[in-house]
């Protein structure tokens, strides 16, 4: 009986360790996901001389960029010319602080950002960006909408999973942790889908609007946070499910042993 009790205590400690690690991974992935959604560095454009580009364009690029009537081609061209960054919610460009036409070129730069409205998030994308008569590009339209919706679905699933985990703690049972693991697994799929949709959308956009020769584009650190968040969610899901199922199996075997 003493040996059997010692074994049960050791198994309980193992499950507790797995759950603690899973909770830490879940918390880190949630923080990473929230940070990636709230920042503007999913994709970055780097041009050799943004100030000169703005001067050559008559310093009107950024005014068109922040205009409510700016279409996809207009703000994308501004992103190319002015060291732009794009997030899920906002787009930003770097321009001289003094933008008057009579002022000399400045090296003192500032970043101007404008948010995508809800109508912008669900707006149709066109086969030829900026040309409303070219027809709807269904692939880019649905990729854009999915990259807006999936991160919130992912966060919602993780929060709901955390709520179930708290209920499991209140009930002093590991079995509900299976549901927490399943929800984290679904959240990981949503995050992975988000990353895939964003990459595909950027590649399709650059096929329509190729990068100028003096412009370099690359994925930013906000995108990297989302990429890291997905495997953390999968690892947390695996630990939750393993701990719950194994503990259930051990409990069933111990109960059968006592009956015997």
Number of domains in the chain: 1
Residue-range definition of the domain harbouring residue 236: 1-259
Burial pattern 90-101, b for ≥16 Cβ within 10 A else e, equals: ebbbbbbeebee
List pLDDT tens digits, range 3-34. 333 334 444 677 778 888 999 999 999 999 99
- DSSP code string of 144-205: HHHHHHHHHHHHHHHHHHHHHHHHHHHHT-STTHHHHHHHHHHHHHHHHHHHHHHHHHHHHH
pLDDT digits (tens, 9 = 90+) for 34-76: 999 999 999 999 987 655 555 555 456 767 777 767 788 888 8
Q: What is the structure's pLDDT at 251?
A: 44
Most confident listed range (105-114, 115-124, 129-138, 203-212):
203-212
Q: What is the CATH number of the domain that holds 67?
A: 1.20.140.150
Mean pLDDT of the chain: 80
């Amino acid at each position: 009986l003493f040996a059997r009790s010692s074994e049960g205590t050791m198994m309980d400690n193992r499950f507790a360790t797995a759950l603690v690690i899973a909770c830490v991974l879940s918390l880190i992935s949630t923080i990473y996901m929230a940070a990636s959604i709230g920042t503007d560095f999913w994709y970055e454009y780097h041009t050799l001389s943004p100030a000169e580009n703005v001067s050559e364009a008559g310093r009107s690029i950024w005014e068109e960029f922040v205009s409510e009537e700016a279409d996809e081609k207009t703000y994308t061209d501004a992103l190319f010319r002015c060291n732009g960054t794009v997030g899920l919610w906002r787009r930003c460009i770097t321009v001289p602080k003094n933008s008057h036409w009579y002022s000399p070129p400045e090296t003192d730069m500032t970043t101007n950002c404008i948010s995508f409205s809800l109508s912008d998030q669900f707006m149709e994308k066109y086969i030829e960006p900026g040309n409303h008569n070219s027809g709807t590009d269904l692939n880019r339209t649905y990729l854009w909408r999915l990259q807006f919706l999936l991160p919130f679905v992912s966060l919602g699933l993780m929060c709901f999973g955390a709520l179930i985990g708290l209920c499991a703690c209140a009930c002093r049972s590991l079995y509900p942790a299976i549901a927490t693991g399943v929800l984290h697994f679904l959240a990981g799929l949503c995050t992975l889908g988000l990353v895939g949709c964003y990459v595909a959308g950027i590649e399709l956009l650059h096929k329509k609007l190729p990068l100028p020769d003096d412009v370099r584009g690359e994925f930013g650190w906000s995108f990297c946070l989302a990429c890291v968040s997905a495997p953390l969610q999968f690892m947390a899901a695996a630990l939750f499910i393993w701990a719950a199922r194994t503990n259930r199996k051990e409990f069933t075997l111990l109960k059968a042993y006592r009956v015997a």
